[in-house]
Amino acid sequence: MFKIGIIGMGRVYDYQIEAVKEIRDIQVSAVCDTDEGKIVKKPEKARFYKNFHRMIKEEKLDAVVISLPNILHYEVAKVCLEEGLNVLIEKPAVLDIQEFKNLVKLSREKGAVFVVSLHYYFAKEVQWFKRKYDEELRKQLGEITYFRSGFFDPYIENGKLKSFAKSLNGSWIDSGINALSVIGKFIKDLEVSESRLIFIDEINRYGDIQGTVFFEFGFNNYGLIETGWVYGIDCKISRFRFENPKKEIILNHSKQQVILKESGESQIIADFSKTGNRLVNHYKGVFLDFIKHLEKGTDNIDFAYYIHSLLFDAVNINGKIEECL
């Protein structure tokens, strides 16, 4: 049984707590939030703290889960790792690739497990298709030659940004990493070729409100990821095309379904829509994976670094279109 403390009791916390209820090898011993009103959301046997420094000093924890606004991730993770605590940190782990490297270095110096919660990696439809593709479908479909992933949220309403979204650092930082967690599971040599992130200070001075990022991979293959808060929809979908031009796979993340499209006809070939809340399902996977890392003393740093590098590359080259330079 691993005793954990959760730092931050915002929107993600609700899904985490529901997921942990079904995992017998984890006990939430303590929770922390600066808002004392959140005490009503704590598990019955857990202690509530307003100060995370006090929590990690007083509690004998095996690990902490950091679920704070992105801008606070680095400093809080640094303190916890310096204390030798194992850390599971929400995506994105940091807002700068050098900060990521610093935390990895510190975790290894302290002998602590450092894992990034890339929860879409554990989506049921993603897991199912990855397994089926590796086991049998690759022979029918061939290699991936194109992808298009769209992650959209209704965070702008009547021209105004919803208050909670201010801490998300824009649609690309918030949702781009989710899409990359899916696409990166299948394609290991992605490179950002172009990035078009739209910033409108009057609406959101904290980050972009819409983004389209183009990628190259393999031999002359390409794909794109779109994120946005402006369409008024909650929709997450990833499409893959293959060497077999007659077939397309659609991962409907919102409905937890896998769809095969062939000759204009669509067929659901895997359906997890009745297996419970999709985000709770994601976090079950996150926590079960974290347990394995704690038991083995391993991490997911290689994959997380790959994903974060792409995330920040898109920010760094935003608006730089080679043909127009």
Q: Concatenated DSSP letters for 11-61? A: HHHHHHHHHHTT-TTEEEEEEE-S-GGGGGGS-TT-EEES-HHHHHHHS--
Which residue, 272, 122, 137, is CA-closest to 185?
A: 122
Q: Whole-angstrom Cα distance, residue 316 to residue 142? A: 33
Q: Is the pTM of this model over 0.75?
A: yes
Q: Which two tokens stand for residue 278?
A: 């999709």
* Backbone Cα Rg of the chain: 20
CA dihedral in degrees (17, 273, 118, 153; nearest 10)? Answer: -100
Q: Whole-angstrom Cα distance, residue 70 to residue 91? A: 8
Tens of each residue's pLDDT in the chain, 325 residues:
899 999 999 999 999 999 999 999 999 999 999 999 999 999 999 999 999 999 999 999 999 999 999 999 999 999 999 999 999 999 999 999 999 999 999 999 999 999 999 999 999 999 999 999 999 999 999 999 999 999 999 999 888 999 999 899 999 999 999 999 999 999 999 999 999 999 998 888 889 999 999 999 999 999 999 999 999 999 999 999 999 999 999 999 999 999 999 988 999 999 999 999 999 999 999 999 999 999 999 999 999 999 999 999 999 998 766 555 4
Residue 119 vs residues 92, 290, 318, 320: alpha-carbon distances, Å? 11, 11, 26, 30
Instruction: Say how many C-beta atoms besides its own lie within 10 A of residue 58's C-beta.
Output: 13
187 DSSP β-pair partners? none
265 DSSP β-pair partners? 262
CA dihedral in degrees (119, 69, 299, 215; nearest 10)? Answer: 60
Q: Whole-angstrom Cα distance, residue 210 to residue 155? A: 11
